[in-house]
Amino acid sequence: MPATLKVDTNGQIGERSREAEELLGYSALEAVGQSIEIIIPQHLRERHRAGFARYVQTGISTLPEITTTIAVHKTGRHLTLPISVNAIYGKVNKVAAVEATFYPSHDLAK
């Protein structure tokens, strides 16, 4: 079953599914309110910041509908996972949050 994280426009995790805890290792208490960067490898953070800021401003993603990314498990292990992102719109058609959906992969041993 897919795992979801809802991230506000400042990059803070607002909600996460139970599946996200199972997949990434962070409980709700550990994840909610933290920067999404807790699951982004250090070498990808700058690229993520630029893409995230552009997406929040425009609502237009340059990513394919589903792409593959690397996420960092709470233990520090890197996971290669398929992901999709969707803008969640608030008032006046502005992006209010971004929902990231991770699809379980058989490549969890990386």
Distance CA 19, CA 30 (A): 15
Domain that holds residue 51: 3-102
Name the phi and psi angles at 79, rounded to 5.
-115, 130
Asked if 99 and 4 count as a contact pair (C-beta separation under 8 A), the reply is yes
| pLDDT above 60 for 107 | no
- Domain total of the chain: 1
Predicted local confidence at residue 104, as pLDDT: 77
Confidence of residue 14 (pLDDT cuts 50, 70, 90): very high
Measure the CA dihedral 73/77/78/81, to 10°: -50
CATH number at residue 39: 3.30.450.20
Is position 92 within any domain?
A: yes
The three-state secondary structure class of 104 is coil
Whole-Å CA distances, 99 to 7, 85, 109: 6, 6, 25
Structure pTM?
0.87
